[in-house]
Amino acid sequence: MRRCFWGGAVALTLFAALLPGGSASAAPGRGAEPPPLERLFDNRAVSDDALPGEADFDGSGASLSARDLTAAGWTPGRTLTVQGARLTWPGRQPGEPDNVRAAGQDVRVRGRGDALAFLVAGTGGDAVGATGTVSYANGSRSSYRLTAPDWRTGPLATKALALPHINTPGGQLTEQARLYVVTVPLVPGREVVSVRLPLASDLHVFALSVRAAAPGWSGSWAAATSGYTAVGPWSDRTVRLVVHTSVGGPRVRLRFDNTFAAAPVRIGSVTVAVQARGAAARGAPVPLTFQGTAGVEIPAGTQAFSDPLGFAVPADTNLLVSFHLPLSVSAAPVHRLALQRSYVSEPGDHAADASPAAYTSVMTSWPLLTGVDVGGGPGSVVLLGDSITDGDQSTVDANRRWPNVLATRLLNQNVVPRYGVLNQGISANRVVTDRYPGDGVSTDTGGVSALHRFDRDVLAQTSARTAVVFEGVNDVRWGATAAQVIAGLRELADRGHARGLRMLAATVLPCEGETRCTTAVDAERVAVNAWIRSAGVFDGVLDFDGVVCDPAHPARMLPAYDSGDHLHPGDAGLAALAESVDLALLQG
């Protein structure tokens, strides 16, 4: 391969990993079976707004508002799905014990899966963390480190839910309270029987569960939530999204995310069909259900998976996913740069319409829908990137993003498994800095940083086997140093490896000629690439810089690959990136 050379930490508080040697140690002698978490509740976090003194979450009398929780859809005893984990909000009334201060308690937890999920918050003013232990049915143990951000000062970019008020004995404060879902790895294939909580009294645990793995499913299409923006407003409208599959299968399930939201969203009837043309379906759209019902309400900050449906999903094909919004929706989580025309109907539930007649409006973003999974297959490759992965400057409606071309290559070969390809690119995204702040309605759709979205957009993706990190150009263009980007990339590699993922990195493309790509910026880019190539931190390197750079002028892209803005490859350049990938690197 031609390669161009020229010239010469951010720590994430939610990081959790297996401690060295933890997975093989023997468990202590078994005594009485430990109790479930709710029998250990010893702290009152939630108060009625009229009776704030009935709870004291943090030792100073402050507490969460029961009214705010209800408005968010977090009602007592409700099961919430976050990052693919099902967690039950405590079934307690305001003023009753509803969480545990972590003090080394042994808790009954059962199941098999890829991660243990905790619904937590800290109350010490800073992030609080310590180590705990997982015990398995075969007598072995693994160690984990759990870190909970503070409920008043923690990052909004990684929160599961933010509430608008804090109750105090002196009155209600207009200040956000945060709750977090943090996952830690489990030893694959082993059955969990109990968990010993860390010893950290300012770390509060509301719920925990084993996140079940997804055997029998592969991710075929995905989109990362890039922001929470004003939409419509839509009331009694049907949204018909066009999405392009990678792998196919005999069954399908859909994933909807109410990411970053402050209120629930109601989705009515949902159907899936193969696209004929535009908003027209090839055959009658087939309805899906959610726990046996036709629609679903998704609480703020959570997600919903449809029930499995026997539906033959073709590979490398456009699907129509239609869903009715019976209530008014004026803001929603979106993936802005769809590069695909989708449709909004006239008033009414038109999800079952094969005809395009009712779909009179066009949209070019993907709201709410974040995943299409298919039955069978070997799992998925997740591509974490920025606008180049998102497909910016590629041809609209043509599916010529480099992830699409890579998916076609995988389908047309027999050397490695035919993985699904999940495009988690977000235009304007950065490794170490949030563009979208992670809360509230915003016009910025550059997403939270790769560090802050890694758990949701990579680790929680269906049957992820390998991840490719292809980011950094936006960081250096906006003032980040090579050292900061390298620290972020190193952390992503470490976190992926701790979960058993094969981690690959792609070198950063040249961009001379674009306004912000100065000589100083290019020097930082070159330093990042030198580290990616030589550090050995990742399991493999995709040298995309070497693919598209001009050997006679390594700071710029070859004209044949340049879209014209000097930052993004056009269709030919994106195809060249995908064609350059050594497919053997994708298989661990």
pLDDT in tens, 316-340: 999 999 999 999 999 999 999 999 9
pLDDT of residue 11 exceeding 80, the answer is no
Report whether 374 contacts 252 (CB < 8 A). Answer: yes
Report whether 562 contacts 519 (CB < 8 A). Answer: no
Report whether 121 contacts 204 (CB < 8 A). Answer: yes
Report whether 242 contacts 319 (CB < 8 A). Answer: yes
Structure tokens at 484: 């900061």
Share of the chain above pLDDT 90, in %: 94
Q: Which of 187, 255, 285, 322 is nearest to 456 (CA)?
A: 255
Q: Which of 211, 268, 192 is nearest to 82 (CA)?
A: 211
Peptide bond into 76 cis (omega under 30): no
pTM for the full predicted model: 0.94
Which pLDDT does position 8 carry in this prediction?
34
What's the rounded mean pLDDT across residues 62-67?
A: 98
Beta strands in 289-387 (DSSP E): 296-298, 303-305, 309-313, 318-325, 329-335, 342-345, 359-363, 366-367, 369-375, 380-385
* Environment class of 446 (CB within 10 Å of its CB; exposed 0-12, middle 13-18, buried 19+): buried
Report whether 400 contacts 442 (CB < 8 A). Answer: no
Helix (H) or strand (E) holding 411: helix 402-411
Distance CA 176, CA 335 (A): 25
Q: What are the CA-CA distances from residue 99 to residues 49, 83, 164, 376 (Å)?
A: 19, 21, 20, 39
- State in words which class domain 378-588 has: alpha beta
pLDDT in tens, 481-528: 999 999 999 999 999 999 999 999 999 999 999 999 999 999 999 999
Q: What is the DSSP letter of 460?
A: T
Which pLDDT does position 226 carry in this prediction?
98
What's the rounded mean pLDDT across residues 382-391?
A: 98
Distance CA 510, CA 525 (A): 8
pLDDT of residue 29 exceeding 50, the answer is no
Distance CA 571, CA 281 (A): 28
Distance CA 453, CA 317 (A): 28
Distance CA 114, CA 126 (A): 28
Structure tokens at 294: 């036709």
pLDDT in tens, 401-448: 999 999 999 999 999 999 999 999 999 999 999 999 999 999 999 999
